[in-house]
Amino acid sequence: MDVPLNLCKRRSMKEVDLYVPVKCFFQDLGYVVKGEVGAVDIMAVRGVEPAIMVELKLGFSLTLFHQAIERLKLADDVYIAVPKPEGRSAYKRLKLNINLCRRLGLGLLTVRVRDQFVEMHCIPGHYKPKKSAKKSKQIIKLFDRLEGDPNVGGATRRGLVTGYRQDAVQCAAYLARSGASQGAVVAKETGVGLATSLMRKNVYGWFDKVKTGVYVLNSTGKKELTNWSHLIK
């Protein structure tokens, strides 16, 4: 190695501090590594193999991904390198960025600040994620269950109308009109096939059990029903 390894041993890092550990990482793999080649932060070449390009940044950003994508016009193997984030929330964000890199065909390296350890999380190349048939079916069921288009796209979760809430409102409205009723009757009159189960689970706390299979709308349900009256058929 022709570069001192202690260059990055400091509390706050600069982009140039990432250069040494990343250079050493590729040198250990047999590459000749040079910095600031044209607009490229790091370029590594091994024999007649295609060149590798690396973009250095102190954190993930849209600008970083834009720059890395531009480098794909020059080489097939492009990495981004950032300091390794610490903490549980940071780890979750790292996983999301790993997936993003894979989708974009980019490689990802992180540099651990305390000892300059370089970790490769993914390599450049085409990536096709495995789809979840179960989750795909679930989201279609949610779509089909939702009547009309009651929500505005981009709204926060609080106050959103779900198919489950629509069913609960229909059951509550029927009980408000008819009083205590058997679940089977509520199901028949409202078209909510799982009315008995819905009232028994009582997710929103709107229903009270009178006896087996019979439910009544409680005071909380009556109050909440006024907030969702626009959903009553």
Name the domain count of the chain.
2
Rounded to whole angstroms, the Cα distance separating 195 from 224 reads: 18
Tokens encoding 233: 């058929």
Domain that holds residue 195: 161-231
Nearest residue to 173 via CA among 212, 219, 217:
217
Distance CA 46, CA 227 (A): 67
Model confidence pLDDT, tens digit, residues 171-180: 999 999 999 9
CATH number of the structural domain spanning residue 47: 3.40.1350
Q: Say what the pTM is.
A: 0.60
Residue 128 forms part of a structural domain: no
CA nearest neighbour of 69 among 59, 60, 82, 78: 78
Q: What is the pLDDT of residues 113-154, one digit of tens each?
A: 888 899 999 999 876 667 778 888 887 887 777 777 666 665
Say yes or no: 10 and 67 in one domain. yes
**Given a cut of 60, is residue 27 above it in pLDDT?**
yes
- Kindly give, in sequence order, each residue whose CB lies less than 8 Å from that of residue 232, ignoring residues fewer than 6 positions away: 169, 170, 173, 225
Residues 88 and 174 both lie in one domain: no
